[in-house]
Chains A and B, each alone.
Chain A
Amino acid sequence: MPSAIIVDDEQTLIDYLAGKLQQLWPELEITGTAVNGRQAIALADETEPDIAFLDIQMPGLSGLQVATELPADIQIVFVTAFDEFAVEAFERAAVDYLLKPVSDERLQCTIARLQTHQQDPDLLAAREQLQALLRDLNPARSDCLQWIRAGLDDTTELVAVADVVFFQADHKYTTVATAARDYVVRKSIKELEQELDPQQFWRIHRGTIVRVDQIAAAKRDLRGRFTLTLRERPEKLRSSQSYGYLFKQM
């Protein structure tokens, strides 16, 4: 008898899907449910189900991350309320997914697929494809800085890294410039450079890190240095010669 686990951070939705499955596929045994990713992995270990219904957006580990952790012989069906990118990718890779609220017709199709897949000899190959897809969809958790604690007298304000236009070294401190105002942090440019996402922030000078999508234009002078104009700040930033290679393509 086939068995399945259902993972969703909302108990109501677990019950709902379980009810529907019972109705449409009475032979399927629901061996357990979980409300977050870590529980899901533990549950799969314990009950070794044939099928896992995974909600994508969950606290802790997402459904996508859980999928990469599960044994390859478990068939996975993603369940999502709305996730354009994922759905598109699933379509391309022929991975099964359900949209919430789940309709009987759609669930019927999924059940039919699951039943045929069980005899599919190429399951492992398909699984590998899925793993690759998930790595693309869900790149390794970035350990990059998201928030900066900026000291202002006795309070510490939080500045979203996404709001920062540039960082400028200022003696022992670093000025954090957002579109609206400046903040000061105790971290050095060097420390910040290591913590920031190198895709989003470039160090252009010994004392300057700039957010790449804030660069409006880069103008080269005779000595190979660049002067940058920014989108949301009036300042002009100068790159030093050694960082000039960053703008060679611009």
Chain B
Amino acid sequence: MHCRLASTANLFRRKRIHMSEPQPQFSFNAIDTEPVKTFLLTGLLCLGISLLVVIFTGTPFWASALMSFSIGWSINLSFLLLGNLLARWMNPYVAAIPLTALGMAFGLIVSGVGIFGDAWHFFIGEYDTLVITTFFGVVGFAIFSTRGRLADAEAKLAKAHAEQEKRERLLAETELRLLQAQIEPHFLFNTLSNIAGLIHNKPDVAEQTLLNLTTLLRSTLKRTRQQDTTIAEEITIGKAYLDIQATRMQGRISYDINCPNHLQAHPLPPLLVQPLIENAVTHGIEPNETGGSIHVAVCADNASVNITVADTGHGVEATQSNPGTGTGLRNVRERLQALYGEAASLTLTENKPHGMVANLRVPLEHSFAEAD
């Protein structure tokens, strides 16, 4: 039996992170979330444009700056004031066209008044200015929409990170709860008293019980550091536990475990099977005066590994139940959800004529798929 010390990367690979679908919506994020920064950046762009215009056309700097700034900031203003309104009715990218045009027109009017004292100066006659303005308008739009999309993508990424973090926290929490549940004090002290009771009269049995308890405790400690274990290892632990219980209950409990050879080394996260076995014993067999048996079976179909833990105990009809019915199973379920999402499941059904069957289904690793 080989021991796999899987890296955390391995765990991540099996984990299915469910992200909400990215919404195909471009909000006017930049202007909405950081208006001041956007205005300043636009100012910087406008300064650049006006310098270019000065160099290539010889226009006086004040005139080129006035024009460039009034157009740039007008466009900003039109996005800020009307952007969200328009985006409600049409695709935000389409909405950007009238918004830019409106801002440009307003900017041209302001420039016309400022430079020539004529609001319509740039709309009648000076068509080359109109062409240049349009060109820069398109460049500006391209720059800002990219920024907007980047901001959107960043927000989505942050959200995905937050969700993954939440998932990991949940996993850690359930793991802790399972670990705490595992060294159930009642079980531990009862086993120790058994060893004390057996040590004089049946030293062999006492020794074997002590060794089984050691296996169980060692696995518990080891598993806090180990992410992945194998089915065979889980079975070893289950056997140690069931052997102790068989010693304690003296004939009230019997068990068998069947796992085909080719699945023995199949990886399995720890703390999934053991709680099912413990649940079957403590809620199925232990409260039942006549006892019962436990059958653990492992099999695989082409997509998943199925592990069933069936007991012939107590079942759902009996009126008495040990405390904590279902909480161990709930932990397993939460853990499965955190590890695999919808790809794994735990179902409970009734055993005939009495008792319960827990069926654990986890995805099959591809390398184990062919053999049968």
Query: Quick check: A82 and B186 within 8 Å, CB to CB?
Result: yes
Q: Which one of B190, B327, B350 lies within 8 Å of A149 (CB-CB)? A: B350
Q: How far is the CA of A161 from the CA of B186 in the complex (A)?
A: 25
* Chain A nearest CB, measured from B44 CB (Å): 45
Query: Quick check: B185 and A82 within 8 Å, CB to CB?
Result: yes
Q: Given known contacts A12-B197, A13-B193, A81-B186, is B249 in contact with A160 (CB within 8 Å)?
A: no
Closest B residue to A10 by CB, please name it. B248
B contacts with A: majority SS: helix
List chain B residues, Cβ under 8 A from A38.
Answer: 289
Q: How far is the CA of A91 from the CA of B287 in the complex (A)?
A: 27
Interface assignment of B192: CB less than 8 Å from any CB of chain A: yes
List chain B residues, Cβ under 8 A from A147.
Answer: 316
Query: Quick check: B326 and A12 within 8 Å, CB to CB?
Result: no
Interface assignment of A143: CB less than 8 Å from any CB of chain B: yes
Of the candidate stretches B50-58, B234-242, B317-325, B362-370, the one touching chain A is B317-325
Interface assignment of B295: CB less than 8 Å from any CB of chain A: no
Closest A residue to B346 by CB, please name it. A180
Query: Quick check: B197 and A15 within 8 Å, CB to CB?
Result: yes
* Chain A nearest CB, measured from B124 CB (Å): 60
Interface assignment of A60: CB less than 8 Å from any CB of chain B: yes
List chain A residues, Cβ under 8 A from B248.
Answer: 10, 12
Query: Quick check: B190 and A158 within 8 Å, CB to CB?
Result: no
Report the interface size for chain B: residues with CB under 8 A from the other chain. Answer: 38
Q: Which one of A59, A81, A180 lies within 8 Å of B190 (CB-CB)? A: A81
Interface assignment of B215: CB less than 8 Å from any CB of chain A: no
Interface assignment of A16: CB less than 8 Å from any CB of chain B: yes
* Chain A nearest CB, measured from B319 CB (Å): 6
Query: Quick check: A157 and B326 within 8 Å, CB to CB?
Result: no
Q: Which one of B196, B320, B329, B348 lies within 8 Å of A141 (CB-CB)? A: B320
Q: Given known contacts A146-B316, A160-B326, is B289 in contact with A36 (CB within 8 Å)?
A: yes
Q: Which one of B189, B250, B316, B319 lies within 8 Å of A101 (CB-CB)? A: B189
List chain B residues, Cβ under 8 A from A161.
Answer: 326
Q: How far is the CA of A10 from the CA of B249 in the complex (A)?
A: 6
Q: Which one of B197, B201, B286 lies within 8 Å of A59 (CB-CB)? A: B286
Q: Which one of B185, B194, B333, B348 lies within 8 Å of A157 (CB-CB)? A: B348
Q: How far is the CA of A180 from the CA of B340 in the complex (A)?
A: 13
* Chain A nearest CB, measured from B281 CB (Å): 12
Q: Which of B80-96 contact A (CB under 8 A)?
A: none
List chain B residues, Cβ under 8 A from A143.
Answer: 319
List chain B residues, Cβ under 8 A from A10.
Answer: 190, 194, 248-250
Interface assignment of B46: CB less than 8 Å from any CB of chain A: no
Query: Quick check: A60 and B287 within 8 Å, CB to CB?
Result: yes
Query: Quick check: B185 and A81 within 8 Å, CB to CB?
Result: yes
Query: Quick check: A100 and B189 within 8 Å, CB to CB?
Result: yes
Interface assignment of B347: CB less than 8 Å from any CB of chain A: yes
Q: Given known contacts A12-B250, A81-B190, is B320 in contact with A157 (CB within 8 Å)?
A: no
Contact with A along B173-195 (1 / 0, CB 8 A): 00000000000011111101110
List chain A residues, Cβ under 8 A from B134.
Answer: none
Q: How far is the CA of A158 from the CA of B351 in the complex (A)?
A: 11
Query: Quick check: B330 and A160 within 8 Å, CB to CB?
Result: yes
Q: Which of B295-346 contact A (CB under 8 A)?
A: 316, 319-322, 325-327, 329-330, 333, 337
List chain B residues, Cβ under 8 A from A149.
Answer: 316, 350
Q: Which one of B185, B197, B289, B327 lies within 8 Å of A60 (CB-CB)? A: B289
Q: How far is the CA of A143 from the CA of B317 in the complex (A)?
A: 11
Q: Given known contacts A82-B186, A141-B320, A160-B329, is B193 in contact with A59 (CB within 8 Å)?
A: no
Q: How far is the CA of A157 from the CA of B347 in the complex (A)?
A: 7
* Chain B nearest CB, measured from A148 CB (Å): 9
Interface assignment of B349: CB less than 8 Å from any CB of chain A: yes
Interface assignment of A70: CB less than 8 Å from any CB of chain B: no
Q: Given known contacts A10-B248, A59-B286, A146-B325, is B193 in contact with A158 (CB within 8 Å)?
A: no
Closest A residue to B288 by CB, please name it. A59
Interface assignment of A241: CB less than 8 Å from any CB of chain B: no
List chain A residues, Cβ under 8 A from B289.
Answer: 36, 38, 59-60
Contact with B along A149-192 (1 / 0, CB 8 A): 10000011111111100000000000000001000000000000
Query: Quick check: B189 and A82 within 8 Å, CB to CB?
Result: yes
Interface assignment of A74: CB less than 8 Å from any CB of chain B: no
Q: How far is the CA of A180 from the CA of B335 in the complex (A)?
A: 12
Interface assignment of A28: CB less than 8 Å from any CB of chain B: no
Q: How far is the CA of A83 from the CA of B288 in the complex (A)?
A: 20
Closest B residue to A155 by CB, please name it. B349
Interface assignment of B268: CB less than 8 Å from any CB of chain A: no
Q: How far is the CA of A50 from the CA of B201 in the complex (A)?
A: 28
Residues of chain A whose beta carbon lies under 8 Å from any beta carbon of chain B: 9-13, 15-16, 36, 38, 57, 59-60, 81-83, 99-102, 141, 143, 146-147, 149, 155-163, 180
Closest 4 CB pairs of A and B: A160-B326, A16-B197, A81-B189, A101-B193
Having A10-B250, A13-B193, one finds 15 other A-B pairs with CB under 8 Å, namely A11-B250, A12-B194, A12-B247, A13-B194, A15-B201, A36-B289, A81-B185, A81-B187, A81-B189, A82-B186, A101-B189, A101-B197, A146-B321, A156-B350, A158-B349
